[in-house]
Amino acid sequence: MDYNTERKKLPMPEYGRNIQNMVNHLLTIEDREKRNRSAKTVIDVMGNLFPYLRDVADFKHKLWDHLAIMSEFKLDIDYPYEPPSPDILNEKPNSVPYPQHDIKYRHYGLVIEKMINAAIEREGEEQRMLIEQTANQMKKLFLVWNKDAVLDEKIFKDLEEISGNKLKVPRDITLMEPKAILGKKKKKKK
């Protein structure tokens, strides 16, 4: 029996072994004109495998690039596009720059720090409303992180500490109850 694990590895497995066999056959055609016509036919077959991608920009260009990759860059035909160089297969991807933020209380996150900074810039009733909304959001986040009940005083203390003591929480603010935040547990049906 002939198992795929014993066969040569496919350069682009998404096209399958039959398309790879067609590409391998292209390499054996000696007449350049016939090889060019056959390559266009193989491109059409490759395009038929993924009809939903036909609307994607440069779809044909990608197919020609894939043909070059599948032939291990040995196919001598008249490419309608500049074929890629073999080096692209060994290129390392560019590193992704991840934002680095020094967050003191990670369970609250960066958005809470931004909300607190926005509250610092406000005054009067607008600041009071922002403090109350931020404190409620902090309590929600704390309860997600720690399912046990949390005291409002702990949230107020954390809010003041994150603000660098620039905000003082009015003591008449009341926060939502944990049951309202977490929601009611559904009873299991028997």
- The angle subtended at Cα 134 by Cα 129 and Cα 136, nearest 5°, is 100
Q: How far apart are CA 171 and CA 8, in angstroms?
A: 73
Q: How far apart are CA 74 and CA 26, in angstroms?
A: 10
Question: Given 3-state DSSP classes, what are the helix, strand and coil percentages for the chain, each rounded to the nearest 5?
Answer: 55, 0, 45
Domain layout of the chain by residue ranges:
10-89, 110-182
The residue among 128, 115, 26 whose CA lies nearest residue 79 is 26
Q: How far apart are CA 30 and CA 65, in angstroms?
A: 22
Which residues are CB-contacts of 65 (< 8 A; sequence separation ≥ 6)? 81, 83, 84
The residue among 21, 14, 22 whose CA lies nearest residue 44 is 22
Q: What is the pLDDT along the chain (190 residues), one digit of tens a residue?
A: 788 888 889 999 999 999 999 999 999 999 999 999 999 999 999 999 988 888 888 899 999 999 999 999 999 999 999 988 999 888 888 888 887 888 888 888 889 999 999 999 999 999 999 999 999 999 998 888 777 778 889 999 999 999 999 998 887 888 888 777 766 666 666 5
pTM of this structure: 0.53
Answer for the pair 15, 46: CB distance below 8 angstroms, yes or no. Answer: yes
Answer for the pair 165, 118: CB distance below 8 angstroms, yes or no. Answer: no
The residue among 98, 97, 99, 161 whose CA lies nearest residue 135 is 161
